[in-house]
Amino acid sequence: MRFGIKAAEDLGIPEVQFWTASACSFIGYLHYRELIRRGIFPFKNDDYLTDGTLDKPVDWICGMSNVKFRDLPSFLRTTDPNDIMFDFMGEEAQSCLKASSIIFNAFDEFETEALEAVISKFNFPNIYTIGPLQLLARHIVSKSQVNSLNSSLWKPDSKVFEWLDQRAPNSVVYVNYGSVTTMTDHHFREFAWGLANSRQQFLWIVRPDVVQGGESARIFDTLWMEFYDGNYLCWCACHLLAFLC
């Protein structure tokens, strides 16, 4: 992140950036400024969600062929010219080019086009690929202290896996908003009732802060009492899970 580069400059030492997402996402963020220059961002109104705009091809991004607007990092999907995540991610990607090297969570054969674009178009030859990181976990010694490290601050509840094991294959709807998505109270309730009215078993991951204002847990508890009997709530891998029994 940018503060690391500034600290390295002040200390007079080399600084290496680690981009944990894909190289394609990095290319997409690097072109956020171009979206502004071309007048594409911000969208004028919410019609872009339904009028086919997101399905228009984008043929001017080096390193990403055969893509549409919907394939670009989704923070561009807003009508707010001051959207904080659009600005933040675009500038974070640009700042990486000031580092001495960049490490990507990718491997050359999988993202050749994007990696070559970073080298050629952005004149940044010092890139290294070490991914996918998930495969590196198998090299950790079983009794190593590294096994105690976890990116989650919540205590997992493994009962969710017991519940899933009792369900038939392809019978559970899985819903996950990711780590940064937020929504209004109204949209949260609409989503909840949509799941409830589907009459399908579902596994729904709800962060405590997914509702703007941090009221997810309170609203969810209220709604759940209206849905069905025999429900269950638990914490698992940093997320609130709810599923129909």
List pLDDT tens digits, range 125-135: 899 998 887 77
Same-domain pairing of 18 and 61:
yes
181 and 111 both lie in a single domain: no
Query: What is the reported pLDDT for 193?
Result: 82
Determine the average pLDDT of the residues in 140-159: 65
Q: Is residue 145 part of a domain?
A: no
Q: Tell me, yes or no, whether 40 and 115 share the same domain.
A: yes
The answer as to whether 147 is a domain residue is no
pLDDT value at residue 17: 92
224 versus 24: the higher-pLDDT residue is 24
Last residue of a domain, one of 88, 104, 137: 137
Cα–Cα separations (whole angstroms), residue 108 to 18, 24, 139: 16, 12, 20
Verify that 128 and 7 share a domain, yes or no: yes
Asked which of 56-60, 88-92, 107-111, 149-153 is least confident by mean pLDDT, the reply is: 149-153
Instruction: Give the three-state DSSP class for 171.
Output: coil
**Which has the higher per-residue pLDDT, 152 or 96?**
96
Please report whether residue 103 resides in a domain: yes
User: Do 122 and 43 belong to one domain?
Assistant: yes
pLDDT one-digit tens code per residue, 34-50: 999 999 999 999 999 99
Separation CA 7–CA 61 (nearest Å): 32
The percentage of residues in the chain with a pLDDT greater than 70, rounded to a whole number, is 78
Task: Write out pLDDT tens, residues 222-243.
Answer: 555 555 444 444 444 434 444 4
Are residue 185 and residue 131 in the same domain, yes or no?
Answer: no
State which residues form the domain around 167: 159-244
| Whether the predicted pLDDT of 203 surpasses 60 | yes
User: Using one digit for the tens of pLDDT, what is the confidence trace for 155-191?
Assistant: 666 777 887 888 889 888 888 877 777 788 888 888 8
Q: Which of 80, 106, 137 is the last residue of a domain?
A: 137
Mean residue pLDDT across the chain? 81
Domain boundary, last residue among 103, 137, 171: 137
Quick one: average pLDDT of 81-109?
Answer: 92
Domain with 101 in it: what CATH number?
A: 3.40.50.2000
Residues 115 and 211 in one domain: no
- Same domain for 6 and 122, yes or no, is yes
For residue 155, what pLDDT is reported? 63
User: Do the beta carbons of residue 32 and residue 62 sit within 8 Å?
Assistant: no
For 114-126, letters b (16+ CB in 10 Å) and e give bbebbeeebebee
Asked if residue 63 has pLDDT above 70, the reply is yes
Please check the confidence at residue 100 and state whether its pLDDT lies above 80.
yes
Residue 102 carries which side chain, given as an amino acid letter? I
Residue range 192-201: average pLDDT?
81
Is 126 in the same domain as 181?
Answer: no
Do residues 107 and 132 lie in contact, with contact meaning Cβ atoms separated by under 8 Å? Answer: yes
The token pair at 187 is: 């949209």
Specify the pLDDT at position 117: 92
Q: How many domains does the chain have?
A: 2
Instruction: Judge if 197 and 132 occupy the same domain.
Output: no
